[in-house]
Every structure is written in structure tokens, then in C-alpha cells.
Amino acid sequence: MALSRLRSIALASLVFAALLMAALFITVEAAPPNQSADEGATLFKEKCVGCHTIGSGKLVGPDLKGVTQRQEKAWLLSWIQAPDKMLAAGDPIATQLLKEYNNLPMPNLGLNETQVASLVAYLEGIDAGTIAAPVLPTAAAVPEGNSVIGKELFTGVNRFQNGGPPCMGCHSVGGLGALGGGALGPDLTTAFDKYGGAAGLVGFLNAPPTATMNAVWSRQPLTADEQANLMAFLQSATATERPVEALVPLTVLAIVGALILIVVAQLYWRKRLVSVRRAMVTRSRIS
């Protein structure tokens, strides 16, 4: 009797606990997206200003003034969420935009649904006039750069003030050294033209929108002078191909280096065991 009562109490508390857990999960799941325009403003400064302005003309990407009236909201939401997927799916608007903007695709910003909704709410607010358009740095505000200093920064001869890694670690520029630079990031030989000159680049460098660049530079940003010098260098670096002459010393260097290594290894391991049985048999046959 006592046992069965104990059992029913246990069962009841178990059911209660299960319900409580379910309620918790349901609350989390059912919470409406937080369409906060404030969050949208912050996100815009972090993620968008590299390529977009609102009312100050186009940079790498289009001017976003009036975008919520130009495009449908559903399209905007899915575009910001996953531009790479929409391009891959061959969305007509996306394909048209890509052609218009130097074939530079909009990167996937890795935002979640709530964040996308906040961004769209922010853009809608601006278009409706309830929120002031942000004031963004423009090319005019960037001081004149020195391409020599820029090159030193790019190659890492001089370090960045905030400790960022030299560009050459990941990027290459035509005509820079026999071996060029890193191959992790894209070749930057034509970056200046591709990004629409200083106006486009300054936005990009201020807040790099791509995942890799953002991860590296958001914690150790470039100073305004550094940006100017780098842009000056990128502007001057217009050689499109590595000169053929550079390949000759490179080849010679490689061969000489390999030979030196072989000789050193031969010397270091000169007493190594090469062959015992075959050598013995050969020696015996000769004698």
C-alpha cells in the first residue's frame, strides 16, 4: 500500500518535471525573433559598411538607401541570410546584381535569423525615416598614403601598430618578390580597381565583411594611416603577372638549395648502411 503510493508520487513528480522541461523548450522555440532596430544598427556597422553605404553612393556593393522599397522583404531576408546559396541557385535578381558589381559576390555573413530580421528592420526604419542614416567614413576622410611605406607594411618589413599579421602571409601581389605571397587569400594585384578605388577599399579595411578577415582584423584594426599607405601601395601594384625573369633566379636558387641539402645529408649520413648482402656478393664475385 505504502509502496504503491510512493510509486505514484514518484511518477507524478517525473511527469511534472518532464512537463516543466517541455515548457522551457517550447518557450525558447516559440520566442518571436527580436526585431530590434538597435541590434540592426550595430550589426550594420560591424558587417555591412565594408561594402555598402546608405545614401552616400555605391562602393563595392550597392547603396542601400531605399532597398526595402526596391526589393521584397522575403527576398531581402533570404538574400542576407545566405547570398551564396541564392547565387548558386541562380536567383535572377542576385545574378543581375553580381554582373553589375564587378562579379564580386556578397559573402555569407554567417548571421542567424534573428540578426537578419534585425538588420532588415533597421533598413526599413531608415527608409521610413524613423531612424537616421549612419554617417560613414569616406575616402575623402582618408589621408594621403605613401606606397613605399604601404609596401613595407604589406610585406611585413614594418609591423602594424595594433599587431595584425602582414598581408603577405595570406595574400599575393603581382611583381612582389620571386615567390610572391601567401595563397590562402585572393591575389590582391587588381584589388584596388576591383573594389572601386579608395572609396570601396576604405570601407572594406575598416570593417572586413568576410569571415576570415573579420576574425583576424576586428580585434587588431588597422589605423587610418596604415589604411592609407596600404591603399596607396595596392593602387601602385598594378603588374598583373609575375615577370618571367623572376623565375630564372628562383629555379637556380631551388636547384642550388636542393644540391646543398643533398650534399649535407650525404655527409651527415655517410656511414649509413646501404646494402650488406648484395655488396658482399658483388665483392666476392670480383675477387
Partner 1 sequence: MDIRAQVSMVFHLDKCIGCHTCSVACKNIWTDRKGTEYMWWNNVETKPGTGYPTLWEDQEKYKGGWEKKGGELRLKLQGRLGALTNIFFNPYLPTVDDYYEPWTYDYENLFTAPEGDDQPTARAISMITGKHMEIEAGPNWDDDYGGSPVYASNDPNLEALTDDEREQMSEIERVVFFYLPRICNHCLNPGCVAACPAGAIYKRGEDGIVLLSQEKCRAWRMCISGCPYKKTYFNWSTGKSEKCILCYPRLESGQAPACFHSCVGRIRYLGVLLYDADQIKNAASVPNRDLVEAHRSIIQDPFDPQIIAAAKANGIPDGMIDAAQKSPVYKFVKEWRLALPLHPEFRTMPMLFYVPPMLPVLAKIKDGKYDNADVASKSLAPLLSSLERARLPLQYMASLFSAGNDEVVAASYRKLIAVRIYMRHKTVGDISEEEALEALRAGGTTAEEVEAIYQLTAKPTMEERFVVPPLAREVAIEQTIDPFTRKREGGFGFRHAPQRGG
Q: Which residues bind partner 1 (CB under 8 A)?
A: 269, 271-273, 275-278, 280-281, 284-285
Of 5 and 271, the one with the shorter C-beta distance to partner 1 is 271
Rounded to whole angstroms, the Cα distance separating 231 from 242 reads 20
Closest C-alpha among 217, 106, 120 to residue 171: 217
CA distance 57 to 268: 66
Q: What is the DSSP letter of 71?
A: S
CA 249 to chain centre: 34
User: Minimum distance from CB of 260 to partner 1 (Å)?
Assistant: 18
Beta-carbon count within 10 A of 119 CB: 26
Q: Report in angstroms how near the CB of residue 254 gets to partner 1 at its nearest.
A: 22
CA-closest candidate to residue 220, choices 210, 237, 208 = 208
How many other CB atoms sit within 10 Å of the CB of residue 93? Answer: 13
Specify burial of residue 120 (Cβ count, 10 A radius: 0-12, 13-18, 19+).
Answer: buried
CB of 266 to partner 1, least distance (A): 11
Question: At its nearest, how many Å lie between partner 1 and the CB of residue 178?
Answer: 29
Residue 13 vs 266, nearer CB to partner 1: 266
Nearer to partner 1, 99 or 270 (CB): 270
**CB of 89 or CB of 262, closer to partner 1:** 262
Written as nine digits, the cell of 75 is 527576398
Give CA–CA dist 95/103, Å, rounded.
Answer: 9
**Measured from the CB of residue 265, what is the shortest distance to partner 1 in angstroms?**
9
- 253 or 265: CB nearest partner 1: 265
Tell me whether residue 16 or residue 269 sits nearer to partner 1 (CB atom): 269
List Cβ neighbours of 202 (8 Å cut-off, separation of 6 or more): 137, 138, 139, 142, 227, 231
CB of 113 to partner 1, least distance (A): 42
